[in-house]
Amino acid sequence: MKNQVLFFVTGLIWISGHGFGQQANVNLDYNPQKDTEGLIPFSANVNSPEVRDDNTVTFRLKAPNAQKVVLPVEAIHTANNIGREPIPFTKGADGIWTLTIGPLKPDMYSYHFNVDGVQIPDPNNTYAAFTAMPPYSELIVHGDGPAYYDARNVPHGTVTRHVYHSEVTKGERELYVYTPPGYNPKKKYPVLYLLGGSGELPSNWVFDGRANFIMDNLLAEGKAVPMIIAIPNNQVIHRNHPRHTELTFDILEKELRNHVIPLVDEAYSTIRSPKGRAISGLSMGGRHSMYIGFRSLDLFANFGILSAGDTNAETSLAQFLNDPKVNEKVDYLFVGQGTEEAKGFMGQRCLVLHEALLKHKIEHEYYTGGHGGHDWATWRHLLYYKFLPNLWRSK
């Protein structure tokens, strides 16, 4: 199979010492939005956001002609109990709008500004996500040192971007692959196929999910099995297509079977059996992992269903649930969600799946934890604290 490797990222190490601060992007700092030098980001006109050691945050926007600026709290409110209503900025005589909130729990949060009814990312923040939906900004509230998802001074793996042609989607597609530090092509590695949600692209599991740094840190701590992580693009049909739910599963399964798995097996030293493969994903990717993975036991024996499920599981998953040999075929099945997420509709879907698995005596691990909702705070937490440490260790 022909494919083209466009670029790779390797061996990046967080360096302690002098703090450059305020999004200097000199190092992979754990506190990039702390103002340590009194400088603003390159090409910006104000510091925003500015994160202090007491975990308060100040947002700024220079918009002298604006009439109203608010912060829709989105993911920030879930972990910090600050209410759901947008928070207004205050306009200064210099035309700079300012808002201070917090203290907030250390984590990474997505956010937007709303200016006179128009949603925009923070134009002064260098940390903005490129996704399958309009971009948002990232707020990074630091703790006392690098978090479990930060770049630490440990051995680092390599993230490679492959571009390949798909006969399934009739175009060029991308795939990111993480290989662990010390990857040896003479050794066979298990592969985790990790999928994103409705608005995600493969790179989001690297830049928002920090999957590579999480894996680096787990390996350095001796808490995980060395593995390859393949992150394909699971957007295979327009997300607003009226038949998206009906069509997406068959198309993605074909893409995995015809292109993604063959590419990974050809380019890397892999265990080419169900026991050596896992499929996992968040939200929509969790549903892909469930609906495609559970009917593809010839490909996968390990599953991570993150923030996903089905309130009609008894019907939609009947073949899997009623398979008398399912516990022989499945090595590890994890179902997880965030603590705050569990209180709403998204959490109910996950709970119904868990209860269906219990009813049919299907061995699995169910977990609710962290301080997040249906957001990256939850998915990073699930990856580090539960799913990756237990993968390929249960049987």
What are the extents of the domains in the chain? 50-138, 158-390
**322 confidence band (pLDDT: 50, 70, 90):** very high
pLDDT, position 10:
42
Residue 269 makes CB contacts below 8 A (sequence gap 6+) with: 184, 185, 186, 187, 188, 189
Q: In what order do the strands lie in the sheet with 69-71?
A: 87-88, 69-71, 113-115, 118-120
Which residue type is seen at 26?
Answer: V
What's the CATH class of domain 50-138?
Answer: mainly beta
This model's pTM is above 0.85? yes
User: Exposed, middle or buried, 316 (CB in 10 Å: 0-12/13-18/19+)?
Assistant: middle
For the cut 80, the answer to whether the pLDDT of residue 128 exceeds it is yes
For the cut 90, the answer to whether the pLDDT of residue 2 exceeds it is no
Over residues 181-191, mean pLDDT: 98
For the cut 70, the answer to whether the pLDDT of residue 143 exceeds it is yes
- pLDDT, averaged across the chain: 93
**11 confidence band (pLDDT: 50, 70, 90):** very low
With tokens 């994103």, the residue in question is 196
For the cut 80, the answer to whether the pLDDT of residue 276 exceeds it is yes
Torsion angle of the four alpha carbons 325, 331, 333, 334, in this order, in degrees rounded to the nearest 10: 160
**19 confidence band (pLDDT: 50, 70, 90):** low
pLDDT tens for residues 75-86? Answer: 898 889 888 899
pLDDT, position 82:
87
Q: How far apart are the first and last CA of the chain?
A: 33
Over residues 34-47, mean pLDDT: 93
Over residues 231-252, mean pLDDT: 93
Torsion angle of the four alpha carbons 152, 155, 159, 160, in this order, in degrees rounded to the nearest 10: 150
For the cut 90, the answer to whether the pLDDT of residue 21 exceeds it is no
Segment among 51-55, 102-106, 223-227, 237-241 with least mean pLDDT: 237-241
Residue 382 makes CB contacts below 8 A (sequence gap 6+) with: 304, 306, 307, 336, 337, 338, 367, 369, 370
CA 194 to chain centre: 9
d(CA 20, CA 31): 9
d(CA 211, CA 149): 8
Over residues 261-280, mean pLDDT: 98
For the cut 70, the answer to whether the pLDDT of residue 49 exceeds it is yes
Over residues 62-72, mean pLDDT: 97
For the cut 50, the answer to whether the pLDDT of residue 14 exceeds it is no
pLDDT, position 6:
43
Q: For domain 158-390, give the CATH number.
A: 3.40.50.1820
Over residues 195-218, mean pLDDT: 96
Percent of the chain with pLDDT over 90: 86
For the cut 70, the answer to whether the pLDDT of residue 395 exceeds it is no
pLDDT, position 81:
83
For the cut 90, the answer to whether the pLDDT of residue 254 exceeds it is yes
pLDDT, position 390:
97
HSE of 65, CA atoms in CB hemisphere, 13 A: 0
**250 confidence band (pLDDT: 50, 70, 90):** very high
User: And the tokens for 146?
Assistant: 């690098």
Question: Which of 395, 382, 371 is CA-nearest to residue 81?
Answer: 371
